[in-house]
Chains A and B, each alone.
Chain A
Amino acid sequence: MAMVFDPMGDLVDANEESAEHGPPPVGTVEPLPDLRADVRSGLRAAVPLAIAVFGFAVSFGIVARAADMGWLAATVMSATTFAGSAQFAAASVIGTGGGIAAAIIAAVLLNSRYLAIGISVAPAMTGGPVRRFLGAQLVVDESWAVGHLGGGRYSRGRLLGAGVLVYIAWVGGTVVGVLGAEFLGNPESLGLDVVSPVLFLALLKGQVADRRAAVVALLGVAIALALVPFVSPGVPLIAATAACLLGLRKL
Protein backbone atom coordinates (compact mmCIF):
# COMPACT_ATOMS: atom_id res chain seq x y z
CA MET A 1 0.00 0.00 0.00
CA ALA A 2 1.44 3.35 -0.99
CA MET A 3 1.82 5.95 1.74
CA VAL A 4 -0.46 8.71 0.50
CA PHE A 5 -1.28 11.78 2.51
CA ASP A 6 -5.01 11.98 2.08
CA PRO A 7 -6.55 14.88 3.97
CA MET A 8 -9.94 14.03 2.49
CA GLY A 9 -9.63 10.50 3.85
CA ASP A 10 -13.09 9.42 4.81
CA LEU A 11 -13.56 8.26 8.39
CA VAL A 12 -16.39 5.96 7.51
CA ASP A 13 -14.50 4.35 4.66
CA ALA A 14 -11.55 3.90 7.00
CA ASN A 15 -13.83 2.02 9.36
CA GLU A 16 -15.07 -0.19 6.57
CA GLU A 17 -11.49 -0.84 5.52
CA SER A 18 -10.68 -2.01 9.03
CA ALA A 19 -13.53 -4.48 8.85
CA GLU A 20 -11.32 -6.47 6.46
CA HIS A 21 -9.48 -7.72 9.54
CA GLY A 22 -12.67 -9.50 10.55
CA PRO A 23 -13.06 -11.48 13.73
CA PRO A 24 -10.43 -14.19 14.20
CA PRO A 25 -11.69 -17.74 13.66
CA VAL A 26 -12.69 -19.27 16.99
CA GLY A 27 -10.03 -21.46 18.56
CA THR A 28 -7.13 -20.35 16.35
CA VAL A 29 -4.25 -18.06 17.15
CA GLU A 30 -4.71 -14.68 15.52
CA PRO A 31 -2.00 -14.11 12.89
CA LEU A 32 0.43 -11.31 13.65
CA PRO A 33 -1.11 -8.13 12.22
CA ASP A 34 1.00 -5.92 10.00
CA LEU A 35 1.75 -3.26 12.62
CA ARG A 36 3.13 -0.66 10.19
CA ALA A 37 0.14 -0.93 7.86
CA ASP A 38 -2.20 -0.59 10.85
CA VAL A 39 -0.30 2.46 12.12
CA ARG A 40 -0.57 4.06 8.66
CA SER A 41 -4.30 3.36 8.40
CA GLY A 42 -4.79 4.79 11.92
CA LEU A 43 -2.85 7.92 10.95
CA ARG A 44 -4.95 8.42 7.82
CA ALA A 45 -8.26 7.86 9.58
CA ALA A 46 -7.28 10.35 12.30
CA VAL A 47 -6.49 13.28 9.98
CA PRO A 48 -9.91 15.01 10.23
CA LEU A 49 -10.00 14.34 13.98
CA ALA A 50 -6.50 15.77 14.40
CA ILE A 51 -7.61 18.97 12.66
CA ALA A 52 -10.48 19.29 15.16
CA VAL A 53 -8.16 18.50 18.06
CA PHE A 54 -5.72 21.15 16.85
CA GLY A 55 -8.48 23.78 16.94
CA PHE A 56 -9.57 22.64 20.39
CA ALA A 57 -5.94 22.80 21.61
CA VAL A 58 -5.59 26.36 20.27
CA SER A 59 -8.58 27.34 22.38
CA PHE A 60 -7.00 25.61 25.40
CA GLY A 61 -3.85 27.65 24.80
CA ILE A 62 -5.92 30.84 24.74
CA VAL A 63 -7.66 29.88 28.01
CA ALA A 64 -4.33 28.94 29.63
CA ARG A 65 -2.87 32.28 28.57
CA ALA A 66 -5.87 34.09 30.08
CA ALA A 67 -5.33 32.13 33.32
CA ASP A 68 -1.68 33.32 33.43
CA MET A 69 -0.39 29.76 33.32
CA GLY A 70 2.64 30.67 31.22
CA TRP A 71 3.43 28.98 27.89
CA LEU A 72 5.73 26.34 29.33
CA ALA A 73 3.29 25.12 32.02
CA ALA A 74 0.45 25.01 29.47
CA THR A 75 2.57 23.03 27.00
CA VAL A 76 3.84 20.63 29.65
CA MET A 77 0.24 20.08 30.76
CA SER A 78 -0.83 19.22 27.19
CA ALA A 79 2.14 16.86 26.80
CA THR A 80 1.49 15.00 30.07
CA THR A 81 -2.26 15.23 30.80
CA PHE A 82 -3.30 15.02 27.10
CA ALA A 83 -7.02 15.21 27.91
CA GLY A 84 -8.96 18.27 26.83
CA SER A 85 -11.73 18.60 29.39
CA ALA A 86 -9.45 17.97 32.39
CA GLN A 87 -7.04 20.63 31.15
CA PHE A 88 -9.78 23.22 30.63
CA ALA A 89 -10.99 22.49 34.16
CA ALA A 90 -7.48 22.81 35.61
CA ALA A 91 -6.85 26.06 33.73
CA SER A 92 -10.09 27.57 34.97
CA VAL A 93 -9.31 26.51 38.55
CA ILE A 94 -5.88 28.15 38.23
CA GLY A 95 -7.44 31.24 36.61
CA THR A 96 -9.96 31.66 39.42
CA GLY A 97 -7.37 31.02 42.11
CA GLY A 98 -8.95 27.73 43.19
CA GLY A 99 -7.01 25.12 45.13
CA ILE A 100 -4.83 22.35 43.75
CA ALA A 101 -7.22 19.76 45.23
CA ALA A 102 -10.13 21.16 43.20
CA ALA A 103 -8.12 20.86 39.97
CA ILE A 104 -7.13 17.27 40.76
CA ILE A 105 -10.66 16.18 41.70
CA ALA A 106 -11.99 17.72 38.47
CA ALA A 107 -9.32 15.86 36.48
CA VAL A 108 -10.15 12.53 38.14
CA LEU A 109 -13.89 12.94 37.48
CA LEU A 110 -13.47 14.19 33.92
CA ASN A 111 -10.97 11.44 33.07
CA SER A 112 -12.73 8.60 34.87
CA ARG A 113 -13.94 7.27 31.52
CA TYR A 114 -10.29 6.54 30.65
CA LEU A 115 -10.32 3.81 33.29
CA ALA A 116 -13.09 2.05 31.33
CA ILE A 117 -11.51 2.89 27.96
CA GLY A 118 -8.18 1.52 29.24
CA ILE A 119 -9.79 -1.78 30.24
CA SER A 120 -11.47 -2.05 26.82
CA VAL A 121 -8.17 -1.68 24.92
CA ALA A 122 -6.11 -3.76 27.38
CA PRO A 123 -6.25 -7.01 25.32
CA ALA A 124 -4.77 -5.17 22.31
CA MET A 125 -2.00 -3.59 24.39
CA THR A 126 0.76 -6.17 24.13
CA GLY A 127 4.43 -5.94 25.11
CA GLY A 128 6.16 -5.22 28.41
CA PRO A 129 4.72 -3.00 31.14
CA VAL A 130 6.69 0.08 30.02
CA ARG A 131 5.50 -0.27 26.43
CA ARG A 132 1.94 -0.79 27.64
CA PHE A 133 2.19 2.28 29.88
CA LEU A 134 3.50 4.49 27.05
CA GLY A 135 1.03 3.13 24.50
CA ALA A 136 -1.84 3.76 26.92
CA GLN A 137 -0.93 7.46 27.05
CA LEU A 138 -1.86 7.73 23.34
CA VAL A 139 -5.34 6.30 23.92
CA VAL A 140 -7.72 9.26 23.98
CA ASP A 141 -11.34 9.51 22.77
CA GLU A 142 -10.30 10.08 19.15
CA SER A 143 -7.64 7.36 18.80
CA TRP A 144 -9.83 4.95 20.76
CA ALA A 145 -12.70 5.45 18.29
CA VAL A 146 -10.36 5.02 15.30
CA GLY A 147 -8.72 1.93 16.84
CA HIS A 148 -12.01 0.08 17.35
CA LEU A 149 -12.38 -2.73 14.83
CA GLY A 150 -15.90 -3.58 15.98
CA GLY A 151 -17.26 -6.03 18.51
CA GLY A 152 -15.01 -4.70 21.26
CA ARG A 153 -11.77 -5.64 19.43
CA TYR A 154 -9.08 -2.99 19.03
CA SER A 155 -6.09 -2.64 16.71
CA ARG A 156 -2.92 -1.61 18.55
CA GLY A 157 -1.44 -0.18 15.35
CA ARG A 158 -4.48 1.97 14.58
CA LEU A 159 -4.63 3.14 18.22
CA LEU A 160 -0.98 4.17 18.15
CA GLY A 161 -1.05 5.72 14.66
CA ALA A 162 -4.13 7.81 15.41
CA GLY A 163 -2.81 8.59 18.91
CA VAL A 164 0.53 9.96 17.68
CA LEU A 165 -1.15 12.28 15.18
CA VAL A 166 -3.71 13.53 17.71
CA TYR A 167 -0.92 14.03 20.30
CA ILE A 168 1.12 16.16 17.88
CA ALA A 169 -2.00 18.19 17.01
CA TRP A 170 -2.85 18.68 20.70
CA VAL A 171 0.60 19.79 21.85
CA GLY A 172 1.20 21.86 18.69
CA GLY A 173 -2.20 23.55 18.93
CA THR A 174 -1.53 24.43 22.57
CA VAL A 175 1.71 26.20 21.67
CA VAL A 176 -0.01 28.09 18.84
CA GLY A 177 -2.88 29.12 21.14
CA VAL A 178 -0.70 30.20 24.05
CA LEU A 179 1.77 32.19 21.95
CA GLY A 180 -0.72 33.58 19.44
CA ALA A 181 -3.62 34.25 21.79
CA GLU A 182 -3.90 37.94 20.96
CA PHE A 183 -4.02 37.33 17.18
CA LEU A 184 -6.68 34.63 17.22
CA GLY A 185 -10.43 34.92 17.29
CA ASN A 186 -12.90 33.06 19.43
CA PRO A 187 -13.10 29.42 18.18
CA GLU A 188 -16.81 29.34 19.04
CA SER A 189 -17.63 32.12 16.58
CA LEU A 190 -16.27 29.80 13.87
CA GLY A 191 -18.44 26.92 15.08
CA LEU A 192 -15.35 24.84 15.92
CA ASP A 193 -17.01 23.45 19.06
CA VAL A 194 -19.27 21.17 16.95
CA VAL A 195 -16.39 19.67 14.97
CA SER A 196 -15.52 17.00 17.50
CA PRO A 197 -19.10 15.81 18.23
CA VAL A 198 -19.86 15.66 14.49
CA LEU A 199 -16.71 13.61 13.86
CA PHE A 200 -17.71 11.31 16.72
CA LEU A 201 -21.11 10.93 15.04
CA ALA A 202 -19.41 9.86 11.78
CA LEU A 203 -17.43 7.26 13.76
CA LEU A 204 -20.50 6.18 15.74
CA LYS A 205 -22.33 5.31 12.51
CA GLY A 206 -19.80 2.54 11.85
CA GLN A 207 -19.90 1.26 15.45
CA VAL A 208 -23.58 0.61 16.01
CA ALA A 209 -23.44 -2.95 14.74
CA ASP A 210 -26.88 -4.19 15.77
CA ARG A 211 -30.14 -3.32 17.51
CA ARG A 212 -28.75 -4.00 20.93
CA ALA A 213 -25.84 -1.57 20.41
CA ALA A 214 -28.32 1.10 19.26
CA VAL A 215 -30.57 0.57 22.30
CA VAL A 216 -27.63 0.59 24.73
CA ALA A 217 -26.14 3.74 23.12
CA LEU A 218 -29.48 5.57 23.41
CA LEU A 219 -29.81 4.45 27.01
CA GLY A 220 -26.30 5.79 27.64
CA VAL A 221 -27.32 9.15 26.16
CA ALA A 222 -30.42 9.24 28.39
CA ILE A 223 -28.39 8.44 31.53
CA ALA A 224 -25.74 11.04 30.69
CA LEU A 225 -28.17 13.89 29.93
CA ALA A 226 -30.38 13.07 32.93
CA LEU A 227 -27.35 13.40 35.25
CA VAL A 228 -25.85 16.59 33.75
CA PRO A 229 -27.71 19.02 36.07
CA PHE A 230 -26.96 17.04 39.22
CA VAL A 231 -23.33 15.86 39.13
CA SER A 232 -19.91 17.25 38.18
CA PRO A 233 -19.02 17.26 34.47
CA GLY A 234 -17.38 13.95 33.53
CA VAL A 235 -19.49 11.85 35.88
CA PRO A 236 -22.41 11.54 33.38
CA LEU A 237 -20.00 9.91 30.91
CA ILE A 238 -18.78 7.19 33.26
CA ALA A 239 -22.37 6.66 34.49
CA ALA A 240 -23.51 6.16 30.86
CA THR A 241 -21.25 3.10 30.59
CA ALA A 242 -23.56 1.36 33.10
CA ALA A 243 -25.89 0.86 30.11
CA CYS A 244 -23.27 -1.56 28.73
CA LEU A 245 -24.18 -4.01 31.51
CA LEU A 246 -27.13 -4.92 29.26
CA GLY A 247 -24.45 -6.84 27.34
CA LEU A 248 -24.63 -9.45 30.12
CA ARG A 249 -28.21 -10.28 29.12
CA LYS A 250 -28.78 -13.10 26.69
CA LEU A 251 -30.45 -11.95 23.48
Chain B
Amino acid sequence: MTGIWLTVLLVGAVSMALKSAGPVILGGRELPGKFKQVVALMAPTLLAALIATQIFASGSHLTFDARVVGLGVGAAAIMLRVPTLLVVVLAAMATALTRLAFPA
Protein backbone atom coordinates (compact mmCIF):
# COMPACT_ATOMS: atom_id res chain seq x y z
CA MET B 1 0.00 0.00 0.00
CA THR B 2 2.76 2.48 0.93
CA GLY B 3 4.54 1.51 -2.32
CA ILE B 4 1.57 2.77 -4.33
CA TRP B 5 1.48 6.09 -2.48
CA LEU B 6 5.24 6.57 -2.77
CA THR B 7 4.96 5.95 -6.52
CA VAL B 8 2.05 8.40 -6.82
CA LEU B 9 3.90 11.13 -4.92
CA LEU B 10 7.28 10.68 -6.64
CA VAL B 11 5.82 10.45 -10.17
CA GLY B 12 3.79 13.57 -9.35
CA ALA B 13 6.86 15.44 -8.07
CA VAL B 14 8.92 14.50 -11.14
CA SER B 15 6.17 15.57 -13.55
CA MET B 16 5.61 18.88 -11.75
CA ALA B 17 9.34 19.61 -11.82
CA LEU B 18 9.63 18.87 -15.56
CA LYS B 19 6.66 21.12 -16.38
CA SER B 20 7.76 24.02 -14.23
CA ALA B 21 11.54 24.07 -14.83
CA GLY B 22 11.32 26.35 -17.89
CA PRO B 23 8.75 28.83 -16.56
CA VAL B 24 10.32 29.03 -13.06
CA ILE B 25 13.91 29.49 -14.26
CA LEU B 26 13.33 31.53 -17.44
CA GLY B 27 9.82 32.89 -16.77
CA GLY B 28 8.74 36.23 -18.25
CA ARG B 29 12.02 36.77 -20.12
CA GLU B 30 12.34 36.88 -23.88
CA LEU B 31 14.44 34.09 -25.35
CA PRO B 32 17.51 35.03 -27.41
CA GLY B 33 16.78 35.57 -31.13
CA LYS B 34 18.25 32.38 -32.55
CA PHE B 35 16.63 30.30 -29.84
CA LYS B 36 13.28 31.88 -30.66
CA GLN B 37 13.38 30.52 -34.21
CA VAL B 38 13.95 27.03 -32.83
CA VAL B 39 11.12 27.36 -30.30
CA ALA B 40 8.75 28.68 -33.00
CA LEU B 41 9.10 25.36 -34.81
CA MET B 42 8.41 23.30 -31.69
CA ALA B 43 4.60 23.49 -31.75
CA PRO B 44 4.14 22.07 -35.26
CA THR B 45 6.94 19.52 -34.79
CA LEU B 46 5.85 18.13 -31.43
CA LEU B 47 2.17 18.11 -32.44
CA ALA B 48 3.01 16.20 -35.64
CA ALA B 49 5.18 13.72 -33.69
CA LEU B 50 2.41 13.26 -31.08
CA ILE B 51 -0.14 12.53 -33.82
CA ALA B 52 2.22 10.07 -35.55
CA THR B 53 3.02 8.12 -32.38
CA GLN B 54 -0.61 8.07 -31.20
CA ILE B 55 -1.71 6.63 -34.56
CA PHE B 56 1.20 4.45 -35.71
CA ALA B 57 2.67 3.13 -32.44
CA SER B 58 1.64 0.87 -29.56
CA GLY B 59 4.35 0.84 -26.94
CA SER B 60 7.56 -0.02 -28.81
CA HIS B 61 5.79 -1.46 -31.88
CA LEU B 62 4.96 0.32 -35.10
CA THR B 63 1.37 -0.47 -36.02
CA PHE B 64 -1.06 0.05 -38.88
CA ASP B 65 -4.61 -0.51 -37.69
CA ALA B 66 -8.11 0.99 -37.40
CA ARG B 67 -6.67 4.22 -35.98
CA VAL B 68 -5.25 5.03 -39.42
CA VAL B 69 -8.78 4.96 -40.89
CA GLY B 70 -9.96 7.29 -38.13
CA LEU B 71 -7.14 9.74 -38.80
CA GLY B 72 -7.84 9.64 -42.56
CA VAL B 73 -11.54 10.39 -42.04
CA GLY B 74 -10.64 13.11 -39.55
CA ALA B 75 -8.15 14.69 -41.95
CA ALA B 76 -10.72 14.69 -44.78
CA ALA B 77 -13.32 16.28 -42.52
CA ILE B 78 -10.85 18.96 -41.39
CA MET B 79 -10.03 19.77 -45.03
CA LEU B 80 -13.77 20.11 -45.75
CA ARG B 81 -14.01 22.60 -42.83
CA VAL B 82 -16.49 20.45 -40.92
CA PRO B 83 -17.07 21.76 -37.34
CA THR B 84 -14.51 20.30 -34.94
CA LEU B 85 -16.92 18.35 -32.77
CA LEU B 86 -18.36 16.63 -35.85
CA VAL B 87 -14.81 15.89 -37.10
CA VAL B 88 -14.14 14.04 -33.85
CA VAL B 89 -17.41 12.09 -33.97
CA LEU B 90 -16.81 11.02 -37.59
CA ALA B 91 -13.22 9.94 -36.86
CA ALA B 92 -14.20 7.96 -33.76
CA MET B 93 -17.11 6.30 -35.61
CA ALA B 94 -14.85 5.34 -38.54
CA THR B 95 -12.35 3.79 -36.12
CA ALA B 96 -15.01 1.94 -34.15
CA LEU B 97 -16.69 0.59 -37.31
CA THR B 98 -13.35 -0.55 -38.74
CA ARG B 99 -12.65 -2.44 -35.49
CA LEU B 100 -16.11 -3.97 -35.66
CA ALA B 101 -15.60 -5.06 -39.28
CA PHE B 102 -12.04 -6.34 -38.79
CA PRO B 103 -11.65 -7.59 -35.20
CA ALA B 104 -7.99 -7.97 -34.25
Contact = CB atoms under 8 A, between A and B. Distances in A.
Interface of A: 7-12, 48, 51-52, 69-70, 73, 76-77, 80-83, 86-87, 90, 93-94, 100, 103-104, 107-108, 111-123, 125-127, 129, 132-133, 135-137, 139, 141, 144-145, 148, 151-152, 188-205, 207-209, 212-214, 216-221, 223-225, 228-233, 236-237, 240-241, 243-248
Interface of chain A, helix or strand or loop or mixed?
helix
B83 to A, nearest CB: 5
Interface of chain B, helix or strand or loop or mixed?
helix
B92 A228 contact: no
B44 A117 contact: no
5 contacts: A111-B18, A117-B42, A118-B20, A125-B22, A244-B42
Given A108-B14, A194-B95, 15 more contacts: A70-B4, A81-B16, A82-B15, A94-B7, A107-B14, A118-B22, A119-B22, A120-B22, A121-B22, A141-B50, A191-B95, A198-B87, A208-B44, A220-B46, A221-B49
B52 to A, nearest CB: 4
A111 B15 contact: yes
Interface of B: 3-16, 18-31, 34, 36-57, 59-62, 66-67, 70-71, 74-75, 78, 81, 83-85, 87-88, 91-97, 99-100
B41 A212 contact: yes
A149 B3 CA distance: 42
Contacts of B51: 197, 200-201, 204, 221
